[in-house]
């Protein structure tokens, strides 16, 4: 009886432990690979034969631990119509880029429809691939891809639909350029080239007439973009003014008026507006190696009232030696805006690198920040065992690692022994009146 | 006596084990909450029929409050605002930064386009949706809906409704919003909250109307409000003739993608006069493919059809090795195609010229829970094997290979060997670079002519509340992140 009760107790313990162990095995124990793209459909209903337009997709690496390299390509009818660029600059080729864990990026897909194709519907896919690396522990690697279904209806009808969405006058003070900005939307299927004309008045007297003139702005189909013109205020008095905007599309043979708008603005006296920036972070964002480069980012916020042009000025020294100056590309940051300024430091030798930097915005210098790092040595690539192993009967060909079920079993056994020992230590003598057997 | 003690011990162990199992498995299994009890707040205005006409309707006479403007914002705090405050950027904007408008703006007062919303082709290629309305914004749900999660950290995506309503001193209004699914059924009814007007201790205006940093910047950047209109609304609020109202609701990844309707009603509580203002937003379809395995293993002892070492299962267990599971954490139905790269002895492409040093025939199986496996390329079923370098597709007219949001599927890979030379075989792609197995996910949502996945049908019965962190009290008007100074 005692033995049976003990066995039943032990079975209960075993069940409990297996439940714990089983639950632990079922719980997320490491990184999962994950790739997302949105939207999953693209449709352009009014594409003009010979026309150009853009659409934006976003690619997200939802993996929590592993970075990945993304490549994008197009297939199907549209394969040769496509270029992938950075939506911010419109110039960078984004057919391939890296994504850190949980990082996403938008990609502009620039379509150029051939001029010699017939009207009709054309289909294809924008395929986003994540890096297919070497398999681990003797296995074959598996790569994830997302295909965005794309449909383009091509017609020969030119559709011109531009509208003046908004106008604004940026803050300025006497002596600085006063910028007048027009936001133009293009709902048609041909490019719009806006020209901004502004008549500036004070107390009903025309003070200046300015035009963006030869400056080239363009708004592609289904896009919204800004065009601007600047007013030299060096010989103008501070005060309240009126700006009458007239925005034209000059892509046509004769300029076509898009719209007109009137707004009031104030030109501040010299020194009235603040120019201020906060340099709040300097970060090394990669793991540099000798022979490569270190990528350092400086984060800047414009906390003033005026737009600023900011650069990161840095001094780089190795092992406390003589410093080498380095400067980032400049960026314009509007009031309330933020930007990341990037430095690329060549790593030509081993040692401890110190990068000391400040933000210079229009001649004003911020506080200094520094980052120190020690680059690693680049490793020679050694091909690892991967793929399938075709055996010749020798069991030693097994290159696999310790499988998870075995790990879980060991853990469960350890817990079982511990709990069982505790449980049996609490066994009571059998009740009196029964045969001891 | 001792038997009672033993029973208690057994019971305690059982409870302990069960509790441990639940606690350990909770993050994985409780990603998406079960149905919550309905607790709709009913405001006696409107009939919630999801008219979504896009028209401005004023009823009840001259005392109906004027709704100057309504705009929507995805309350994103993700990658685009790493260094800035909330609202910087506006998350995903499909096509371009906002939806194109064709009519002239009424600068004198209206914040954006006319209410008529002339028909315009929808932007997402999803036939039948959005062709007659124009969404103000496009949003994407987060891939997970952990209850109580902070925005941007696996909580629901929040969408904010902002409105500017004429309100003079002494006026008593309430503002309510109804949000409707793409199919017209109501998603949530929520009362909106007025932002306070605070006496201005210094400055030119009598009052100030605090709003979150960059909120107006985002409204302007997305084409929903002109600078002039914003300036005018702020001035009117500061001079006590207008109020800003806000509300927020969550968007689960289990709710349908498509065009949603937001009806905002401003009610004069003295006269019951009502103004209705209708806008729309679009939830984009997304496909997110995940796998819980890094590599696939074969150990071939004989020349035969060889299934990969661990096979597939339906248990989501990320990490190296183990059985293979894939899942879709997007918000649209998804199917998977695949492609096997050729496998060459020692990974040398030159070896693949020789038949006995090349593996180039494969098969695969895929199936989700409750539907069994679908096999392709299986010679035992009379099928032709999948050749290397050729994309293979499953039959998407069968439901077992279409993964709805959060559905798992087991996936298995097999290869065929003949008289292969012993040794190690590596995947090699068409360019001679290391290769392997490519999984291609794409949207797929029809089965037998009908939508298979609930999120593709336009209506999903799902809870529409959020839970403040640390509480289980559902709130329909869950504005998140903005604490206005008290009056």
pLDDT at A282: 93
The residues in A 165-194 lying below 8 A from B, measured between CB atoms, are 165-168, 183, 185-187
Quote the minimal CA–CA distance from A417 to chain B in Å.
14
CB–CB contact A185 B422 (8 Å):
no
Low-confidence stretches of chain A (pLDDT < 50) are: 1-31, 380-386, 393-405, 428-437
Distance CA A106, CA A58 (A): 4
> In terms of CA atoms, which chain A residue is nearest residue B81?
A338
> In terms of CA atoms, which chain A residue is nearest residue B213?
A336
Quote the minimal CA–CA distance from B375 to chain A in Å.
19
B97 and A87 in contact (C-beta within 8 Å)? Answer: no
Contact of B20 with chain A, judged by CB distance below 8 Å, is answered with: yes
Contact of B101 with chain A, judged by CB distance below 8 Å, is answered with: yes
> What values do phi and psi take at A327, rounded to 5?
-135, 140
Chain A residue numbers touching B29 (CB-CB < 8 A) = 26
Q: Which of B71, B299, B433 to mutate to test the interface with A (most CBs of A within 10 A)?
A: B299
CB–CB contact B300 A391 (8 Å):
yes
Q: Which of A23, A152, A164, A263 to mutate to test the interface with B (most CBs of B within 10 A)?
A: A23
Distance CA A39, CA B470 (A): 34
Low-confidence stretches of chain B (pLDDT < 70) are: 1-62, 74-134, 144-156, 202-205, 213-214, 221-223, 301-303, 319-321, 446-449, 459-487
> What values do phi and psi take at B13, rounded to 5?
-65, -40
Contact of B93 with chain A, judged by CB distance below 8 Å, is answered with: yes
CB–CB contact A389 B421 (8 Å):
no
User: How many angstroms separate the first and last alpha carbons of chain B?
Assistant: 66
The residues in A 215-254 lying below 8 A from B, measured between CB atoms, are 222-224
Contact of B288 with chain A, judged by CB distance below 8 Å, is answered with: yes
Q: Which of B288, B329, B428 to mutate to test the interface with A (most CBs of A within 10 A)?
A: B288
CB–CB contact A15 B315 (8 Å):
no
The residues in B 418-447 lying below 8 A from A, measured between CB atoms, are 420-427, 434-443
Indicate the length of chain B as a whole number: 487
Q: What is the per-residue pLDDT across B249-278, written as a single tens digit (0 to 9) for each?
A: 777 777 888 888 888 999 888 888 888 888
> What values do phi and psi take at B457, rounded to 5?
-90, -15
β-pair partners for A229: A180
CA distances in angstroms from A241 to A107, A170, A181, A202, listed in the order given: 41, 13, 16, 5
Distance CA B216, CA B229 (A): 10
DSSP-assigned states of every residue in A115-141: TTPPSEEEEEEEEEEE---PPSTT-EE
For B127, the token pair is 């036939």
User: Given A16, A125, A419, which is nearest B14 (Cβ)?
Assistant: A16
Quick one: which of A261, A259, A336 has its CA closest to A305? A336
Distance CA B228, CA B250 (A): 31
Question: Who's near B459: CB < 8 A, 6+ residues apart?
Answer: B181, B182, B183, B185, B256
CB–CB contact B84 A54 (8 Å):
no
Q: What is the per-residue pLDDT across A148-175, written as a single tens digit (0 to 9) for each?
A: 989 999 887 788 888 888 898 988 899 8
Question: Who's near B452: CB < 8 A, 6+ residues apart?
Answer: B333, B399, B402, B404, B445, B446
User: Given B228, B332, B422, which is nearest A391 (Cβ)?
Assistant: B422
Classify the complex by whether its ipTM is higher than 0.90, answering yes or no: no
Contact of B455 with chain A, judged by CB distance below 8 Å, is answered with: no
B357: helix, strand or coil: helix
A97: helix, strand or coil: strand
Q: What is the per-residue pLDDT across A31-58, written as a single tens digit (0 to 9) for each?
A: 458 898 888 888 887 788 888 877 878 8
Contact of B146 with chain A, judged by CB distance below 8 Å, is answered with: no
Contact of B41 with chain A, judged by CB distance below 8 Å, is answered with: no
> What values do phi and psi take at A130, rounded to 5?
-100, 155
In percent, how much of chain A has pLDDT > 70? 75
Quote the minimal CA–CA distance from A350 to chain B in Å.
31
Quote the minimal CA–CA distance from A315 to chain B in Å.
24
A255 and A197 in contact (C-beta within 8 Å)? Answer: no
Distance CA A180, CA A197 (A): 9
Distance CA B97, CA B115 (A): 20
CB–CB contact A26 B320 (8 Å):
no
Quick one: which of A341, A353, A358, A339 has its CA closest to A292? A353
């Amino acid at each position: 009886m005692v033995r049976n009760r003990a066995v039943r107790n032990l079975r209960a313990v075993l069940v409990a432990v297996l439940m714990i162990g089983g639950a632990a095995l079922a719980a997320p124990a490491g990184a999962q690979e994950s790739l997302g793209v949105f939207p999953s459909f693209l449709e352009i209903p009014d594409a003009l034969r010979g026309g150009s337009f853009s659409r934006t997709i976003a690619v997200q690496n939802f993996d929590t631990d592993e970075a990945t390299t993304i490549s994008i390509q197009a297939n199907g009818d549209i394969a040769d119509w496509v270029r992938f660029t950075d939506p911010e600059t419109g110039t960078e080729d984004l057919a391939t880029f890296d994504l850190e864990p949980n990082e996403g990026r938008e990609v502009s897909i620039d379509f150029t429809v051939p001029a010699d194709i017939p009207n009709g519907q054309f289909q294809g896919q924008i395929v986003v691939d994540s890096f297919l690396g070497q398999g681990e522990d003797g296995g074959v690697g598996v790569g994830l891809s997302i295909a965005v279904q794309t449909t383009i209806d091509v017609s020969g009808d030119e559709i011109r639909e531009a509208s003046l969405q908004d106008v604004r006058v940026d803050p300025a003070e006497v002596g600085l350029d006063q910028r007048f900005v027009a936001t133009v939307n293009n709902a048609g299927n041909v490019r719009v080239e806006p020209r901004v004309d502004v008549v500036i008045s004070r107390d009903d007297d025309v003070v200046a007439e300015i035009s963006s003139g030869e400056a080239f702005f363009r708004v592609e189909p289904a896009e919204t973009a800004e065009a601007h013109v600047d007013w030299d205020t060096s010989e103008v008095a501070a005060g309240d003014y009126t700006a009458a905007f007239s925005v034209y599309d000059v892509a046509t043979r004769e300029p076509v008026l898009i719209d007109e708008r009137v707004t009031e603005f104030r030109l501040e006296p010299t020194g009235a507006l603040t120019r201020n920036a906060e340099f709040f972070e300097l970060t090394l964002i990669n793991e540099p190696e000798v022979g490569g480069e270190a990528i350092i980012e400086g984060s800047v916020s414009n906390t003033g009232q005026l737009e600023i042009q900011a650069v990161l000025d840095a001094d780089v020294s190795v092992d406390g030696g003589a410093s080498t100056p380095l400067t980032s590309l400049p960026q314009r940051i509007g009031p309330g805006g933020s930007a990341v300024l990037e430095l690329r430091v060549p790593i030509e030798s081993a040692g401890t690198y110190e990068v000391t930097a400040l933000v210079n915005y229009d001649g004003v210098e911020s506080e200094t920040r520094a980052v120190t790092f020690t680059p690693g040595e680049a490793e020679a690539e050694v091909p690892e065992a991967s793929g399938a192993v075709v055996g010749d009967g020798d069991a030693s060909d097994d290159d696999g690692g310790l499988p998870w079920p075995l790990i879980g079993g060991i853990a469960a056994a350890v817990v079982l022994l511990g709990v069982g020992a505790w449980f049996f230590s609490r066994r009571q003598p059998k009740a009196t009146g029964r045969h001891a057997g | 006596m001792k038997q009672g003690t033993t029973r208690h011990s057994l019971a305690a162990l059982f409870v302990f084990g069960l509790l441990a199992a639940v606690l350990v498995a909770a993050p994985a299994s409780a990603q998406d909450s079960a149905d919550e009890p309905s607790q709709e707040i009913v405001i006696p205005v409107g009939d919630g029929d999801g008219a979504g006409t896009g028209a401005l309707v004023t009823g009840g006479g001259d005392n109906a409050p004027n709704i100057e403007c309504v705009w929507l914002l995805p309350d994103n705090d993700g990658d685009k605002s790493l260094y800035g405050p909330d609202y910087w950027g506006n998350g995903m904007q499909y096509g371009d930064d906002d939806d194109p408008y064709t009519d002239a703006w009424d600068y004198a007062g209206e914040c954006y386009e006319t209410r008529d919303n002339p028909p315009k082709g929808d932007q997402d290629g999803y036939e039948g949706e959005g062709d007659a309305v124009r969404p103000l914004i496009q949003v994407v749900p987060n891939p997970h809906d952990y209850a109580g999660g902070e925005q941007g950290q696996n909580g629901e995506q929040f969408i904010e409704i902002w409105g500017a309503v004429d309100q003079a001193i002494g006026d008593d209004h309430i503002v309510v919003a109804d949000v409707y699914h793409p199919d017209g059924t109501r998603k949530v009814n929520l009362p909106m909250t007025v932002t306070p007007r605070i006496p201005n201790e210094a400055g030119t205006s009598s009052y100030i109307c605090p709003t979150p940093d960059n909120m107006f910047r985002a409204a302007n950047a997305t084409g929903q409000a002109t600078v002039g209109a914003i300036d005018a609304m702020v001035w009117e609020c500061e001079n006590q003739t207008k109020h800003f109202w806000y509300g927020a609701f969550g968007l689960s990844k289990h709710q349908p993608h498509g065009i949603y309707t937001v009806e905002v009603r401003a009610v004069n509580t003295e006269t019951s006069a009502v103004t209705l203002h209708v806008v729309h937003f679009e939830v984009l379809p997304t496909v997110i493919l995940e796998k819980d395995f890094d590599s696939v293993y074969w150990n071939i002892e004989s020349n035969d059809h060889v299934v990969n070492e661990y096979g597939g299962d339906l248990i989501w267990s990320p990490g190296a090795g183990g059985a293979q599971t894939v899942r879709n954490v997007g918000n649209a139905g998804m199917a998977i195609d695949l492609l096997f790269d050729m496998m060459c002895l020692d990974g040398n492409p030159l070896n693949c010229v020789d038949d006995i040093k090349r593996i180039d025939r494969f098969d695969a199986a895929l199936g989700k829970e409750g539907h069994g496996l679908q096999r392709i390329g299986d010679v035992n079923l009379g099928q032709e094997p999948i050749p290397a370098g050729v994309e293979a597709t499953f039959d998407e007219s069968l439901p077992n290979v279409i993964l709805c949001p959060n559905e798992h599927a087991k996936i298995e890979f097999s290869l065929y060997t003949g008289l292969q030379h012993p040794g190690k075989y590596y995947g090699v792609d068409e360019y001679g670079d290391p290769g392997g197995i490519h999984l291609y996910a794409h949207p797929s949502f029809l089965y037998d002519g009908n939508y298979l996945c609930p999120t593709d049908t336009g209506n999903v019965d799902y809870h529409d509340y959020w839970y403040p962190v640390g509480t289980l009290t559902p709130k329909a008007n869950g504005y998140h992140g903005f604490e206005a100074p008290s009056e």
